[in-house]
Structure 1
Amino acid sequence: MSLPPLPLNNFEDRLREVLRSKVEFIELIGEDLASAGGKRLRPSLVYLAMRALGGQDEQAHDLAVAAELLHSASLLHDDLLDNADTRRGRETAFRRFGNVVSVMSGDYMLSKLLVLLSGLPAAVQPLTRAFGETASAICEGEVLQFQVAAYGEYSLNTYLEIIRGKTGVLIELAVIAPALLLQAPSEQLEALRQFGYEYGLAFQMQDDLLDLASDEATLGKPVGGDLKEGKATYPVLLLLSGPDGAEVRQILERRAAEPGDVERVRTLAESQGAFAASLAEIERRSRLAVQALAALPASPAREGLESLALLERQRVR
């Protein structure tokens, strides 16, 4: 299965229009976003969900832009919090322009998101609420991640809560936004919500797995970043409950600061089957996502959503 053609050129034109500013630095960051290309996952999900519900692409443009603005604003803030040098192989905005410009540009994107939502019909107030609740959940997920690392209170339930807040809620939002706009039947809304929940977890689990199991050339950034921030991802959680758990916890607590720490955890994860178990869990979540879509009528758009979920296990960056 493959994705049907999507109007991503129209999306990028609208994104540029929304981010237009008389301030050069904001324009530059906005242009970086508009010209970034890549998967455009969240806009693609918006268009596919809209089509799967029988809606038109024209109804989805502003929803796609709004979802991308929320995502991009969170990334600008996230890069600063993580002190990241690169994202997708390019220098991060705060390294280029400084902390103030990066943070305020992220806030500018959020303000433009509010303007877009204000133009929606009053009858779809639940859509505005959904964007607000998603923004809150992203903030809570990011802060919870730092809290868990600070206290060393690692658990699977907390990990799932963190990754849903960091990533999952935005994927959920992208697929339920068209349903809220179209006031779709409740069973279709809940089907998309469940798809977004499972796919969102699978997506972030794959990101976390790649952070430890991939290489810098493929990933576009140094590997082991989560370990260096004291973050216990799915394969590391499996190691913590294994025979070398005490050693892995020590590496986490010292933020993988000693030479060879990251490689040691990679070796343990490979030899003890943590990588394989992580891939199996990603595949399980992806299939649950596909199963959730059975409530929607068969269509190329539904097949496109299914394809995205099923391909998650093979994603390399």
Structure 2
Amino acid sequence: MSLPPLPLDTFEDRLREVLRSRVEFIELIGEDLAAAGGKRLRPSLVYLSMRLLGGQDAQAHDLAVAIELLHSASLLHDDLLDNADTRRGRETAFRRFGNVVSVMSGDYMLSKLLVLLGNLPDPGAAQALTRAFGETAAAVCEGEVLQFQVAAYGEYSLEHYLDIIRGKTGVLIELAVTAPALLLRAPHAHLEALRTFGREYGLAFQMQDDLLDLASDEATLGKPVGGDLHEGKATYPVLLLLDGPDGPEVRDILERRASRPEDVERVRTLAAVHGVFGASRQEIARRSRLAVQALSVLPASPARERLESLAMLETQRVK
């Protein structure tokens, strides 16, 4: 049995409806969000999880929109913090409209998702989801600040790295797959299975992004490689190098934010010499397998197969 198409057109319509505002600048930023499209990974995960648990697509629309609003608000804030010029090939909101408009538009999105959650018909589920969204938003903020703290103090460690990428990516993917379980009051075992899937898939996803930032090339990525080094971020392959014989040299490069023209290529060379790209791919594959294994307690279905495929595709994704 094949999986029917996900209702992403309906999702896009609902997203536009929720983002309507009488204030033109907010409306324009909302329209940019709706028009940007992209993979819509997180909304897709909401629909797949809902189907896996036996729910209906119609029950998932507002959850999918709420997830995307939280994700998009974090991106508006991230672009400002990172002083980014573009996002998906378009000028960032704060470049177009200024800092205040960008930040307040992100806050507007957070406010709108609270309204969506408050309008859910089951008060108990609404309370559980509001708590989950609040905890996720807090984790995103902690991950972002921890990333700056680690770079500032040079406190590079695997523990910190995993905390950062869970806050950066993992918690939103966890929320996308567990929100339907909270809405449907699914059995605890199913909720925890989806939570584990989301955590491991989210970590694998961000680790693959981080690996590509160093191991790929500009033509494939669509942007220069080594961006994380320029920001003083020690990703998984770099952490492996820090633990090796060339660790002091790599730490120096990190601490000067790869400011010399040869720095990024030097780290890439060391990574190839010490085999850390291969070791990173093995860790990503391990996380992906853990995600797939977590779903074994749920009934086999086309939705489960799609979720499993998404997790295993991380080992092959090139951008």
Specify the TM-score bucket, using the shorter chain as the normaliser.
over 0.9
**Distance (whole Å) between structure 2 residues aligned to residue 263 and residue 87 of structure 1:** 25
- The alpha-carbon deviation at position 83 of structure 1 amounts to 1.2
**Distance (whole Å) between structure 1 residues aligned to residue 310 and residue 82 of structure 2:** 28
After superposition, what is the alpha-carbon deviation per residue over 1:185-208, rounded to whole angstroms, capped at 9, x for unaligned?
A: 000000000000100100110111
Say how many residue pairs are matched: 317
Q: Within 5 Å, give how 1:1-317 maps onto structure 2.
A: 4-120=4-120, 121-124=122-125, 125-317=127-319
Q: Which moved more, 1:50-59 or 1:213-222?
A: 213-222
Q: Which moved more, 1:83-92 or 1:73-82?
A: 83-92
Stretches of 4+ moved more than 4 A in 1? 1-4
- The alpha-carbon deviation at position 2 of structure 1 amounts to 9.1
Given that 2:36 and 2:88 are in contact with CA atoms closer than 8 Å, whether structure 1 keeps it comes out as no
Q: Alignment RMSD, CA only?
A: 1.4
SS at match of 2:36: coil
SS at match of 1:35: helix
- The alpha-carbon deviation at position 223 of structure 1 amounts to 2.0
Which structure would you say has the larger RCO, counting Cα contacts within 8 Å and 6 or more residues apart? 1
SS at match of 1:286: helix
Look up the equivalent residue of 2:291 and give its one-letter code.
Answer: A
TM-score by length of 1: 0.97
Change (3 A) 1:10 1:222: same
Unaligned residue ranges in structure 2 (runs of 5+)? none
TM-score by length of 2: 0.97
**Distance (whole Å) between structure 2 residues aligned to residue 46 and residue 65 of structure 1:** 10
* Percent identical: 85
SS at match of 1:84: coil
After superposition, what is the alpha-carbon deviation per residue over 1:146-167, rounded to whole angstroms, capped at 9, x for unaligned?
A: 0011110101011001110111
After superposition, what is the alpha-carbon deviation per residue over 1:200-257, rounded to whole angstroms, capped at 9, x for unaligned?
A: 1001101111111222333233321111111100000001011111110000000111
After superposition, what is the alpha-carbon deviation per residue over 1:59-97, rounded to whole angstroms, capped at 9, x for unaligned?
A: 000000000000010011011111122222332222222
SS at match of 1:38: coil
